[in-house]
Every structure is written in structure tokens, then in C-alpha cells.
Amino acid sequence: MNAEILCVGTELLLGDIVNTNAAFLSRELARLGINVYHQTVVGDNSDRLKKSLKEALENNDIVITSGGLGPTYDDLTKETAAELLGLEMKFDEVSMKHIEEYFRKINCQMTLSIKKQAYIPDGAMAIKNDCGTAPGIYIEKNGKVLVLLPGPPREIEPMFLNYVSPLLQKFTGNTMFSRTVHLFDFGESKAETLLKDMMTTLKNPTVAPYAKDGEVLLRITAAAENKEKAEEMINPVIEQIKSIIGSENIYGTDVGNLQTALVQKLKEKHLKIATDESITGGLISKRITEVPGSSEVLECGVCSYSNRIKHEILGVSSETLEKYTGYSSQTALEMADGVRRISGADIGVSTTGIAGPGGGTDEKPVGLVYVGISTENYSFTKELHLSRGFSEERELIRYLASSHALYLALKCADEKF
Amino acid sequence: MNAEILCVGTELLLGDIVNTNAAFLSRELARLGINVYHQTVVGDNSDRLKKSLKEALENNDIVITSGGLGPTYDDLTKETAAELLGLEMKFDEVSMKHIEEYFRKINCQMTLSIKKQAYIPDGAMAIKNDCGTAPGIYIEKNGKVLVLLPGPPREIEPMFLNYVSPLLQKFTGNTMFSRTVHLFDFGESKAETLLKDMMTTLKNPTVAPYAKDGEVLLRITAAAENKEKAEEMINPVIEQIKSIIGSENIYGTDVGNLQTALVQKLKEKHLKIATDESITGGLISKRITEVPGSSEVLECGVCSYSNRIKHEILGVSSETLEKYTGYSSQTALEMADGVRRISGADIGVSTTGIAGPGGGTDEKPVGLVYVGISTENYSFTKELHLSRGFSEERELIRYLASSHALYLALKCADEKF
């Protein structure tokens, strides 16, 4: 089965928004075992939309569109599709009821134009929108499937997962199931070199690497008739990867991300953490508190951007700040100790360094970062050089610094308690 | 002039990465006054790539590709383009020198396969890559322009801005120039209703709204022969918008975002700020410290996730915490006061509330947030209800809470000092 994803919206062609829907739909179709060979974007223009829709239906079994289902004059996806397929538009009572319910739920006045959203092509099936007003539309005609979905990511994602995915599953029989092995601070090319044989020879399950900002994810995907069978195929491959890469370099399997892995580990061991962030400015505590339930493990975070605060609140000694500066291993260590002490947490973690663009010197260049870890019986710091020499890398340096801090805290929680 | 953007990469079709290149290129082409009616994505497959490239060249004056210029066997954009246009590949000495220099700069061993990147189609011009090894390629043939660019955003963005944009400018004569008016906490539909006449009647400059997570941006775009002429056309429209919307609802023009506007305002008034974050967990200080030079204005941030820390470090009274709970207006006020006092900052800002998914009650539901603002002579809190009833809205609630806090701090800095 082949599918094309056709996203409709002038805001995409102007670059006002990034096309996250195409990525989401592609990922979900891959999971269903449906091939996507093309993604296309067209604007809110009836002629060009009709041409693209026609070509997509000619070349594919399934076409999925996003966008252009709203109530305004430039929302014309379903009218264009109906015209192309020779279908009349008809009023759908059930969709109208859902729209009315939605407005009651969010306690808002319904505008008149909204009624346009309850019209669907004759013979089509309306798909309920749990997070908005425009219903999705499912059409099977001449052996082809056309699915029209709304544009906002918060509407399309639950609609696809809850209602569309089950409809499409009947075409593939098999489901795709994946598990993900997470590496941090382990070069992508090193992982690829070590696992090259596996990646090129294995067909089911497959092994694919995906690198992003310091992390390498290895995704092992099997096609099987159910999840249990898929897992039986995947698990030996994970064991093989562990034996090749070394399990000390793997921080988790299916753990989502570093902050989720850290929160899980802290909960498991009944530990509390506290952060003191200079260069990362709150990003570590922000990432930890992304995880629901993190209040059980995060005692306190401080963003001690000035030396005065480092000294007065965290207790970093004036001597250290004067002799070694705020950007030093010694300061990082005293920051981690300090925040652990004032908060009463089990683990203190700190960051200090130079994010740029200004503030770097030959001796202390942009990208120099110290991460500190402190527990009652064990403290250390790690010096990092995170600049890649690009012009706008402030946020990348801060993000990588926060990832290293989360990773080192995770290692510490795992090994020292 | 019409252009198509053709992005090449199986990782895009699998949804492993989001296509930020298409958004970037679209935005930059719009700025040059070049129309984009289509964006297409194809995988690393020679036949499908050739078909898409052929169609794109037939239907457009300019085609810009991203991706597939790397050193491995599945990078085949330039070879496919050369074949389609009937051009031989030739070795480019200058590109090879740049590649060698790049490896010296990042202090890495050059692999043999990298030499493939120095081959370009005969008659083409190589475009220097300042942030990577694969050169871009510029071809003019049969009245069409084909530009092949690398895939990584960190390579394509500086390459386009520094080298490609000047090459394309000759085709348009006019440049597009935009200014952006920023609204916060002012509904998109309200803005659209008030400005509908302007948006539909004005042709040059145009007025377009763009809404995202609590903010509405109004972009006024003029096509003119230079920046000065464009500004003369745009500025009266901005004045008109201010008189319709009310300037008290506009937090800035061309200010980038809330945190940048806040840091600028604090610098201008020589003020220091301190944050105490419960629900936002460090996101406010993270956003403030995104702005280069924010160390001048951010004194200290605290993430006081537990009541114990709210009491012991920030001085929120036990009575308040017991009587009103940690999620209350009273607590928010004492948090803002407390962090201002311990840090010695001019403005203290705080957040507390319930981000979910758990922890909500009938009386204190998920999405209930209090923002506190404290100065020496003036303190207040604002109660917000930020839930939209979606299932995965924890990060949205936290983001909106941080935006409200930044906005209220900005208003306070502007009006009370």
C-alpha cells in the first residue's frame, strides 16, 4: 500500500509554520506498514489543490490531506475533493451535534459560519473531532481511499490515532511495532560503524539509527500480526545491540528521553534531586518538570545567573569565584554542593559556562561548560567543549549542557545509590 | 517568478525529522518576492527524485532542493540532476580545498568517501559551505535555475542567506520587507474581526495575522525597490493598526518575542528581575536567558517545586500554605515578594498552579494558574484558566503560564518604573 500526504495551507508555503503534520502522519503510516513516497504542500488555491489531489489519487492507494477544513472562505479542501470525485455536499446532523457540544464544552458563542463545517461529501463518512470543530472526512471510491483531516496539530493527532489508524489497519494486516534503544554521548558514526552489518542485513526487524543533539536513538522495527509476536522478534536484536555497543553506553530502552529516564530512576530509588543552573538558566529544571509526577523527585531548582547569588544563596566561596571565576570546575562543584545542602536533596546538579555569542576568551571560549554532581559521599565535575563553531549556537550549547547534566545525574542515581 | 522547494530524504518520509528546511526556504523566498506554490518531499530514490525534479523544472522558473549531497551511496541529488540535465560530473578543486580546510578546522581525520562531495555537474557553480563539507550547487540552464543545497539546517541556512539569496535577488528587482506587530492575550478572531477590512483590501503592503499559543503576530509586508521605501509604505499601516487595536494591547513591534521584549525593556530602564517558578519549573528563566546579554537583567531564578522550599528559601508563610495551599493567589504573591527580597531584584515574578495530567480537583482544576508580580511599592497576582480540555496539554499550560508571566513583568517594567 502506498500513500501520499498532501498538506494544504498558504501559511506552509510562506514558511510561517513548520509542517509537523507531515512528519506525524508519515511516522504513523510507517508504523502501519504503509509506504509514503511523496509529501506535497499546496496553498489555499482551488485549481492547484485539485491538480495535486488528482495526481496524488492517480499515483497512490491512499491520500491523506491536512488543512483547509475550517469555516472561512479560503478553507476549500472538502469542496475541492467533492468536485474532483463528482460528489454533492450534504449536511451531516451528527457532525453538527458534535460542533454544538464542543462549543458548549469550551463555553463559547457559536458563529454562524461554523455551520459550513457540518457539510460533508455525499457517501463520505464524517470523523469525529474531539479537540476542535471541523470533522475529518473518510471516502472510499474507485478502489482509492481519501482521508481529509484538519490542520491544527492538536486536532489531527488525536483524530488520526483514535479514528483513522484503526480504519487504515484493515489494508495492511500486519502492524509495525518498534522499540528504541537510547544512547547519549556516543557518536552517531561510531554507532553506525559498529552496527553497520546489522543495519544493512536485517530486514525484519530492521535497525535504524537516528541522531539528534548529542543523542543517538536506535529504532528496531518488526512487522508482525500482533505486538507480542513483534516483541519476540525484536528483543534478541536488542540484546545483540547491547553486546556490541556495551550496555554502559545505553541509558535506556523505550524511555522517551533523558528527563523521563532520570525521573523514573529517581522514583525507583526514592531519591530527590536539586538543580543549580547558570549557563542553562532553568532548562534542566524545565526539562525535569516536563515529566508528569516530577514533583515527587525535584526538590528545588535555582538559576543563579549572577556571582552574587552563587555566593549569597548557594554558598559558593568568594575565594573560589575570585580565583577561578564563575565559569570553573571549582564553582560548578560548590554550586552542586550548595544546592544539595540548602534543599536537602540526595543529588545536586549544577552547570556553569559560556553560551555566547559574547563573553568568550582564548582561555575560556564560548562552549566551555562545567557540569557538577554532588551527593553526600561523592562529588565530581565534568568539563565539556560544546561549540561547533556556528554563529547561532547559544541554544544548542545550552541544550547540550542540560542533556549532559541530566545524563550524569542519571548515571549517578543508577550507580551511587 | 515561481519557485518549487523539493526536499530529498527518506528520513522525512518516515517522519523521523520535521521539515524545517521547507519552512526556512519558503520564508526566505517570500522575502525575496518569489512565489512558492508547491513544496515536495521525495526519498533517496533516483527514479522518483528524477521524476519530481523534472516536473518541478517544467512548472517553475526556479527549483531549490535540500538534502542528498552527502558522501554516502544514498546521497544522489546532484548525480540525478546532472543526468536529467545531460551534464557530466567534474572534480572541483576549489570545493576540495574548502573540504580539506573544514576538516583541519574541526580537527578531524578526513574519510576517503568525502572526496565524492567535491564533484559537481559541468557548467555548474559550487557554493561554499561554511558549516559543513558538501558544497551547494547553482545551475542556470534553458532559462531555468536549479539550486542544490545540503540537508542539515545548520548548513543550509547560512549558505542560503550568505550566497544563494544574493544570486536570486537579480531575478526579482523588488525586495519584500516586513514589520511585525506583537499582541498578547488578544484573541486571534477578535484581531481578525477588527482588522478584516485592512486584511482583505490592502494589496501592498499586505496585512496578515499569525496566531500561536496566546500570541497574535500581525505581519505587514511591502514589496519595494529598497528597505527605506518599504518602510515608508509600512509605517502608516502600523499606526492605523495601533489606532484600531489600541496600543495598550500591543507589546512591541519587531521585538522577536516576549522574552526579548522583556530583556530589552529591563535593560532600557536599568532594572533587574528575579523569578520563582512552581508550575513553570524554570521555563521563565530559561526563556529569559535565551536572550544574549540577559545576565545584565536576570538576578536569580528559583524553581520552588515543593512547599518546603517555598517556605524555607522563599519565605512563604506556613499559614498561607496551610490555609490557601501552594496553588493560590496568596502563595503566588508571597513567592514573588520572597524572590525579589532574597535576590535584591527590582521585580519579582512567580507562578504556581496545576499543570496536570493529575492533581486537579473540582475547586482547583488542571489549568488553574496564578502569576504573581512584586515590586517595592506594587504587587498583584493574576488568576488564569489555561486548560483547553485536551488530553496532552501539560506543556501548553506551562508555556502559556510562562508567557503570561513574561507579559505581566513587561507591563510592570514599562508602567511602574
| Closest chain B CA to residue A51 | B38
Collect all residues of chain B within an 8 Å Cβ-Cβ radius of residue A306.
295, 298-300
* pLDDT at site A292: 93
Assembly ipTM: 0.80
**Residue in B14, B158, B305 nearest the CB of A30:** B14
Report yes or no: B269 and B417 within 8 Å, Cβ to Cβ: yes
* pLDDT at site B391: 66
The sheet with strand A347-353 has its strands ordered as A379-385, A368-374, A347-353, A273-277, A298-303, B298-303, B273-277, B347-353, B368-374, B379-385
* pLDDT at site A19: 96
Q: Amino acid identity of A292?
A: P
* pLDDT at site A172: 80
Collect all residues of chain B within an 8 Å Cβ-Cβ radius of residue A51.
none
| Closest chain A CA to residue B280 | A286
Report yes or no: A278 and A359 within 8 Å, Cβ to Cβ: no
In whole angstroms, how far apart are CA A374 and each of A65, A277, A302, A334, B312? 52, 14, 15, 9, 21
Task: Tell me which residue has cell 527590582.
Answer: B346
Q: What is the pLDDT of residues A80-109, one digit of tens each?
A: 999 999 999 999 999 999 888 888 877 667
Residue A47 burial (CB count, 10 A):
9
Q: What is the pLDDT of residues A33-90, one digit of tens each?
A: 899 999 999 998 899 999 999 999 999 999 999 999 987 777 899 999 999 999 999 9
| Closest chain A CA to residue B277 | A301
Q: Is B135 left (phi over 0), alpha (psi -120 to 50) or beta?
A: beta
Task: Tell me which residue has cell 563573553.
Answer: A359
With cut-offs at 50, 70 and 90, classify the pLDDT of residue A341: very high
Collect all residues of chain A within an 8 Å Cβ-Cβ radius of residue B389.
105-106, 131
Of A292, A301, A398, the residue nearest A349 (C-alpha): A301
Cβ–Cβ gap B12/A26 under 8 Å: yes
- Report how far residue A273's alpha carbon sits from residue A375's, in angstroms, rounded to the nearest whole number: 10
Burial group, residue B91, by CB count within 10 angstroms (0-12, 13-18, 19+): exposed
Burial group, residue A128, by CB count within 10 angstroms (0-12, 13-18, 19+): middle
Cβ–Cβ gap A40/B39 under 8 Å: yes
* pLDDT at site A107: 67
Collect all residues of chain B within an 8 Å Cβ-Cβ radius of residue A11.
210
pLDDT at B285 over 90: yes
Collect all residues of chain A within an 8 Å Cβ-Cβ radius of residue B64.
none
Cβ–Cβ gap A22/B15 under 8 Å: yes
Cβ–Cβ gap A281/B285 under 8 Å: yes
A226-230, A254-258, B188-192, B273-277, range with the lowest pLDDT: B188-192
Distance from CA of B246 to the nearest CA of A (A): 24
Distance from CA of B9 to the nearest CA of A (A): 10
| Closest chain A CA to residue B21 | A18
Collect all residues of chain A within an 8 Å Cβ-Cβ radius of residue B357.
292
**Residue in B41, B277, B292 nearest the CB of A394:** B292
Collect all residues of chain A within an 8 Å Cβ-Cβ radius of residue B19.
18-19, 22-23, 39
Give the best residue of A6, A12, A17, A19 to mutate against chain B (max B CB count within 10 A): A19
Question: What are phi and psi for residue B318, nearest 5 degrees?
Answer: -60, -35
Give the best residue of B27, B41, B290 to mutate against chain A (max A CB count within 10 A): B41
3-state SS, residue B237: helix
